Structure 1
Amino acid sequence: MTISLHRSATVLFQGDSITDVGRLTERDTPLGNGYARLAAERVRSARPDSDITFVNRGVSGDGISDLRARWREDALELEPDVLSVLIGVNDTWRRYATGAVTTARAFEDDYRAILTQARERLDAQLILIEPFLVPVHEEQWAWREDLDPRIQAVRRLSEEFDAALLAADGLLNQAARAAGGAEYVAGDGVHPTPLGHALLAEAWTALAGL
């Protein structure tokens, strides 16, 4: 499935640190320094005659409940035409780092709630990006038990809400094998390297037919 970007569309990127990438700490980079900025640049290059507005509201450290808490202000009130969401890995990370557990069911329920609000309040096309993990450390392989059900939830929701799906987990893990190691794609297994962000941006713009 692809999306249609009309020439005056507003595109909103939502998520955690993988979307944020400095947009909150570096005043001159409102789109951050990751896939959101790269995707915007690719679109602008391909559509120089358009007047598409790109907005990044990713917040480092967010899990699904954090995103739901700020959804009205940081998503609905911005009235985007295209809404792109990447969330979930922090819900897994917290389980292993601090013991804070968000069940896969709670994750899916919160995710469904925000998408339902978007469907009811907005006339927006949706892009759902799978949370992903490219294990760098041996112990990160155990994280798959927690993350994989979240990935499956995002896939179900993409079908339920007729959203475009960016299958990031397989994309980046395959790229890691081709590059010779996970660290070339996601230095700590979670946060993409410049190569990882470039791959996400390329896949994102492909969903827009570019």
Structure 2
Amino acid sequence: MHITADDRLLFIGDSITDAGRDRTDSASLGNGYVREIAQTLRHLTNVAGGACPAPAVINKGVNGHRVYDLESRWTTDVIAQRPTVVTVKIGINDTWRLYDRGLPSPVAEFESCLDRILTHTRQHSSAARLVVITPFLLPVTSEQEGWYEDLVPRTEAVLRAARANGAQLVRTDLLLPRAAEESGAVALAPDGVHPSPRGHKLIADAWLTAVNGEELGEEL
């Protein structure tokens, strides 16, 4: 199914979604994959002759958030926005906080929380399509290599919750490591977590291919 001008695309997650957006400006999309998606959809509209406006795009990412933070603001930041497509990108902070602050996010609790917010969306925004972007890591230090012990089962939990709720998946946990084999991890995520412009572009293109059915070239 293609995105249309009637759609309201809402993206929610942590700093990877936030990408420096101005939270005092509801129209701000940040400088990451959400903006890339919005720009590409506008471009595709113009290529088609500009007969229809591009869909509304809303960014509700917040730097540092874990899945529990999303749940606490879900009604206001998601349901009340009346989205037709809801994209969730969460999980890496639930892992990261264990290693830098000793703050646990048990995988079973994490999965239950993610399942609750996806189920809540199906129940209260029944017309909305769900999209889940998996967490990823591109280790740039030996310490980060150890994070996989927590992240791998967490990613499996994300997959289970997404599939249980009929969500489309964007597998950045597969895409970005494969891309890093060619270009190197630092080129795609200098600190191993936060994407570079190229990394954000890869995420955006993967979302557009999965959700909008667009096979995108480098010119877009």
TM-score by length of 1: 0.94
Match of 1:79 in 2: 82
The aligned residue for residue 163 of structure 2 is 159
1:46 corresponds to: 44
Query: Do the aligned residues in 1 keep the contact of 2:41 with 2:54 (CA within 8 Å)?
Result: no
Classify 1:94/1:56 alpha carbon distance in 2 versus 1 (closer, same or farther; 3 Å): same
Answering whether residue 148 of structure 2 is matched by residue 150 of structure 1, we say no
The residue number in structure 2 matching 1:102 is: 105
Which runs of 5 or more structure 2 residues have no equivalent in the other structure?
47-51, 215-220
Question: Aligned-pair RMSD on alpha carbons?
Answer: 1.5
Q: State the alpha-carbon separation in 2 of the partners of residues 206 and 83 from structure 1.
A: 16
Whether the aligned pair in 1 keeps the contact of 2:115 and 2:162 (CA below 8 Å) is: no
Aligned AA (2:159): R
Which whole-Å CA distance do the structure 2 matches of 1:146 and 1:125 have between them? 29
Contact 1:22/1:29 (8 A) holds in 2: no
* Letter paired with 2:192: G
For 2:120 and 2:14, the matched residues in 1 are separated by 19
Q: Residue deviations 1:102-161, cap 9 Å, x none?
A: 001011000001011100000200110001101011110110010111111111122111
Shift of 1:206: 0.6
1 CA distance for matches of 2:23 and 2:123? 33
Aligned residue in 1 for 2:49:
none
Instruction: Give the number of aligned pairs.
Output: 207
Q: Which amino acid aligns with 2:173?
A: D
| 1:131 equivalent in alignment to 2:129 | no
Deviating beyond 4 angstroms after TM superposition, the runs of 4 or more aligned structure 1 residues are: 25-29
What TM-score do the two structures reach when normalised by structure 2? 0.90
* Identity of matched residues, %: 42
Work out which of the residue numbers 158, 171, 174 in structure 2 matches 1:170: 174
Stretch deviating more after TM superposition (153-162 or 137-146)? 153-162
Shift of residue 7, structure 1, vs aligned partner: 2.4
* Counterpart for residue 31 of structure 2: 33
Q: Which digits, 9 at most, give the CA deviation of each residue in 1:146-181, with x for residues without a partner?
A: 0111111111122111111000011111111110x2
Q: In structure 2, the residue corresponding to 1:47 is in which secondary structure?
A: helix
